[in-house]
Amino acid sequence: MIRTPDRTIAAVSMIALAAAAALLAQPGRYENGLSRTPPMGWNTWNSFGGGNETIVKQTADAMAANGMRDAGYQFVVIDEGWAQSRNTDGTIMVNATLFPSGILSLSTYIRSKGLRFGIYTSRGELACGGAPGSSGWEQQDANLYASYLADYVKADGCGANLHGPEVLQAALMACGRPIILGVNQWGYHDGWDTVCNNWGTNGTDIGANWNSISTFIDQNEPLWPLARPGHWNNPDMLEVGNGSLTLEENRTHFTMWCMLAAPLFAGNDLRSMSTQVRDILIDTALIAVNQDSLGRQARCVWRSADRLQSVWVKYMRDSSRAVTLLNQGPSSARISVAWPWLGWNAGVSCRVRDLWAKTELGTMTDSCAATVVSHGVVTLRVFPGTDSRGPRVQTAYNDTTFTTVLVLFDEPVHASSAQIAGNYTLDHGASVSAARRRIDKPDRKRQPARLPLHQARRHAGVPECG
């Protein structure tokens, strides 16, 4: 890091900023009102590293023309590589070889396509590849991003003197421009959900192969209580269309990111992708699941004994449920779902739609079943019938806490603990930190039994849903 007389000024500013950050470390102080649904866009990294001006402009052109912008993909994010060094006053110097017209010019071009601009930094002194990081320069850098008309900042976790995300978030909130903050540091860290708009949940970068995708799905699941409007678990950028993934695996990858209410940042070459890959990325029914305004992340309500088959449920604003039957195993498998797993009474009738097949399956009573191919999914939207009154979960949000109440026939149950998943519980009025403690160390003695599995109905006499 360059040390000049201006560095003294920067140091004083840093002390003031740290003091401000300490004051901000209070309930609700980091709420910037942004990202009420998971952000959607494209990032250069998975296919191009930091990219260059030509690639980024061509990608923005493609997004405007191929349906991605209209499907909700807003952000074009340049990853590490744009920043080269700092000048004598600490201002970041742009890599003119890669971005000869400058960053503001690039941002203006992206915005002219009806898109929004995002930029990369690291919270240490240096980024992962050696470019200048933001540590000690947070406010100056935040002001620079604002001058670039940035709408999104991706903050990595590399370099010495790594500052917590609250320091950068405080700077962004003081820069005069609304900017979404997404952070990463090799897995979730306690308290980030009260500071950041999204945070990485895995210990390594995603890979364009089934083992990586499957592992990341499982790693993300226990963190579901932390996801809510403005704050999202991020299992990394999409690899749809990349590497060794088959068409079925691409579809499963995209489905599960939608179910997990994850940020959807495509990472493939949008200029040359196949029609099949494009159709996955712009599927309106799956995107609607991801972008549902209730802001709930799917949770796993059933797994097979070998943990290769599972049922995932995502509560929706209109009282319907998005349901995915997931087969992570090496061969086709029969999977069923019972309506009580969705929070409704046994014996009720529900309207069912297959989202990928785009087919109405009719009204089904109590449950349904499907044969799911290896590494595949069957994804349903289940709409409650008039007789579906029964236990359901309602969540009330404020700035930093969420309260989970089990509602039985429209009357709150006054109990010390209410079940909201097969594996984890939250106390009434539990804060986010309490939720994290319960995730880290589930209280097995107080844990209620799983929802009924209806094992006898799983493979016989169950209506077809695929």
Token pair of 17, please? 């900023």
Catalytic-labelled residue, pool 156, 193, 236, 283: 156
Q: How many CB atoms neighbour CB 425 within 10 A?
A: 20
What span, in angstroms and rounded, lies between the C-alpha atoms of 319 and 428? 22
Cα 303 off chain centre by:
22
Q: Which residues pair with 354 in a beta bridge?
A: 359, 380
Q: Where are the alpha helices (DSSP H) in 297-405?
A: none
Q: Where are the alpha helices (DSSP H) in 25-102?
A: 45-48, 53-65, 68-71
The type of residue at 464 is E
What span, in angstroms and rounded, lies between the C-alpha atoms of 20 and 196? 16
Q: Is 376:328 a contact under the CB 8 Å cutoff?
A: no
Kindly state the helix (H) or strand (E) to which residue 199 belongs, with its residue range: strand 198-200
What span, in angstroms and rounded, lies between the C-alpha atoms of 460 and 149? 59
Decide if 156 is catalytic: yes
216-222 long-range contacts (CB < 8 A, ≥24 apart) are 217/256, 217/260, 217/326, 217/328, 220/260, 220/262, 221/260, 221/299, 221/300, 222/423, 222/424, 222/439
The type of residue at 299 is R
What span, in angstroms and rounded, lies between the C-alpha atoms of 399 and 377? 35
Catalytic-labelled residue, pool 61, 205, 218, 354: 205
What span, in angstroms and rounded, lies between the C-alpha atoms of 396 and 457? 34
Greatest Cα pair distance, the chain, in angstroms, is 79
**Catalytic positions:** 156, 205
